[in-house]
Amino acid sequence: MPLTGQQLSRAGMPQGMEPREPAEGREAPCMRPGPVLASPAPARPATSERKSGLAMLSQEELPLWDALVEDSPQCSVFAKSWWLRAACGEARVLGYFEPGRLIAGLPLYYERRFGIRMCRMPMLTQTLGVAIRPLPGKKVAREARETNILEAIAERLAQEPIFIQAFHPSIQNWLSFYWRGFTQTTHYTYVLDDLSSLPAIWDGVDKDRRGNIRKARRLGLTVKECGPEAVYHAAQASFERQGLKCPYSLEYLSRLYEAARARNAGVCMAAQDGCGKVHAAEFFAWDEKRGYRLAGGHDPALGSSGGAVLLVWTLIEFAATRTAVFDFEGSMRKPIEASFRSFGATRVGYHRIVKMPGWLRAGLSIAGRQQI
């Protein structure tokens, strides 16, 4: 049976509104996630034995990391160990300890490209970066302590030949990384930061988008839950229209979907007509704080039906019953940015922190590429 927004709580883009580039995979659309390499430091199993400083977490310590993530302002589904296992093959976390207690840390993911080891972002993962437990005390004391933590982490990461990560929007202080020679680029996403009133959100949606939704309903389009295959095929069709190859595989998308679905943290949905033809499909993941549109697209031949816009609105209705913020997940591309803004979303900046050799940066410039 078709699922409306209210039914989904119990259980698109028209022509020119291209699919979002996948988080951090956007810079190399022909690349697929590479092999997971050996951890740069051995893990130790007993947290009670930890001394102050940095150490790789053991697998037994990952529940402590998940608890820290839940408590921290940097909480996101992407930092949780189950997501890291699905996206990276294994959860690797560099932890910052004070005696017997995990205070901060960040996930690390390694690939080898062009014969070079890189510490970077996994595909379809918007942000990672440093997560810090809420620090007590006066503002001046909290900021001094935060700086000490970030300096220790930046010093360790400066040893990596190549480091690329997008930090959670709540981490605005990247000075410690600047002091260590890292560079920063501001990226933007768009969010609906208050899902408590759907009528208020609807009033903020551009009139053309509201017209797209009404048109889709008049044409008899409905939104149903689907599998990752429909999402992948919709993404493929959209990328092919732009002359691009889908940057992630069906197997990779399915792995993320199955991990999220098993934890009631992910769903695939499709806008379909009466004949069962898929007009648009998307993968949506969430936790209690935020939900993210991560993958999908629309059938370019059916872009005028309004199905993709109806799908986005239904996802917003769905998210309102499960999380606090709806994140459109990007984008830096002009046509897509305009689409997200048309839903009344607020622009939010976040830091992309990079360290790479000068020769590599120069080579990218010569090749006309900003990123690897």
What's the token pair of residue 245? 């190859």
How far apart are the C-alpha atoms of 118 and 132, rounded to whole Å?
24
Residues 132 and 177 in one domain: yes
Cα(229)–Cα(250) distance, integer angstroms: 7
> HSE on the CB side for 361, CA within 13 Å?
11
What does the pLDDT read at residue 48?
Answer: 54
Based on the structure, what is the number of domains in the chain?
Answer: 2
Residue 32 placed within a domain = no
**141 and 51 in one domain?**
yes
Confirm whether 31 is domain-assigned. Answer: no
In CATH, what number is assigned to the domain containing residue 72?
Answer: 3.40.630.30
Shared domain for 266 and 306, answered yes or no, is: yes
**Which residues have CB under 8 Å from 227's CB, separation 6+?**
257, 268
| Closest-CA residue to 318 (of 78, 75, 11, 2) | 11
φ, ψ of residue 103 in degrees (nearest 5): -105, -35
SS3 assignment, position 190: strand
Instruction: Calculate the CA 52 to chain-centre distance.
Output: 31
338 and 356 both lie in a single domain: no
Same domain, 217 and 98: no
CB 283 within 8 A of CB 295: yes
- pLDDT computed for residue 30 by the predictor: 35
| Same domain assignment for residues 155 and 246 | no
Same domain, residue pair 58 and 127: yes
Angle between helix axes 81-88 and 250-261 (nearest 10 degrees) is 160
Query: What pLDDT was estimated at residue 116?
Result: 85
Alpha helices in the chain, H assignment, sequence order: 5-10, 62-71, 81-88, 139-157, 175-179, 198-204, 207-218, 228-241, 250-261, 307-320, 334-341, 358-366
212 and 123 part of one domain? no
Say whether both 323 and 214 belong to one domain: yes
pLDDT of residue 13: 40
pLDDT of residue 368: 57
User: 295: which residues sit within 8 A by CB, 6+ positions away?
Assistant: 22, 124, 231, 232, 235, 248, 253, 282, 283
Q: In this structure, are 57 and 152 located in the same domain?
A: yes
Q: Is residue 37 part of a domain?
A: no
Among 295, 300, 195, CA closest to 237:
300
Of 235, 240, 233, the closest CA to residue 293 belongs to 235
Q: Which of 234, 321, 239, 238 is nearest to 269 (CA)?
A: 234
Q: Is residue 35 part of a domain?
A: no
In this prediction, residue 366 carries a pLDDT of 61
Number of helices (H), then strands (E), in the chain = 12, 15
Of 91, 92, 81, 77, which is closest to residue 124 (Cα–Cα)? Answer: 77
Q: Look at residue 222 and tell me if it is in a domain.
A: yes
Rounded CA-CA distance 208/222 in Å is 19
Asked if 198 and 312 sit in the same domain, the reply is yes
Q: Which domain does 57 fall in, by range?
A: 43-186+351-366
Whether residues 173 and 116 fall in one domain: yes
Q: What was the pLDDT predicted at 372?
A: 60
pLDDT tens, residue order, the chain (372 aa): 445 444 444 343 443 344 444 444 433 333 334 444 444 444 444 455 788 899 999 999 999 999 999 999 999 999 999 999 999 999 999 999 998 899 999 999 999 887 888 999 999 999 999 999 999 999 999 999 999 999 999 999 999 999 999 999 999 999 999 999 999 999 999 999 999 999 999 999 999 999 999 999 999 999 999 999 999 999 999 899 889 999 999 999 999 999 999 999 999 999 999 999 999 999 999 999 999 999 999 999 998 999 999 999 999 999 999 999 999 987 778 878 888 999 999 999 999 999 998 766 666 566 556 566
pLDDT of residue 34: 44
Residue 14 lies in a domain: yes
Q: Does residue 109 come out as left (phi exceeding 0), alpha (psi in the -120 to 50 range) or beta?
A: beta
Tokens of 115: 């014969």
Burial call 174-197: b when 16+ CB within 10 Å, e when fewer: bebbeebebeeeebebbbbeebee
Among candidates 142, 162, 281, which has minimal Cα distance to 223?
Answer: 281
DSSP per position, 42-77: -EES-GGGPPSEEEEEPGGGHHHHHHHHHHSTT--G
Taking the C-alpha atoms of residue 91 and residue 83, their distance in angstroms, rounded to an integer, is 8
Q: Does residue 95 form part of some domain?
A: yes
- Asked if residue 30 belongs to a domain, the reply is no
What 272-278 contacts at long range (C-beta under 8 Å, 24+ apart), as own/partner pairs, is 272/221, 272/222, 272/223, 272/224, 272/307, 273/219, 273/220, 273/221, 273/305, 273/307, 274/220, 277/302, 278/226, 278/230, 278/233, 278/234
Distance of alpha carbon 357 from alpha carbon 117, whole angstroms: 12
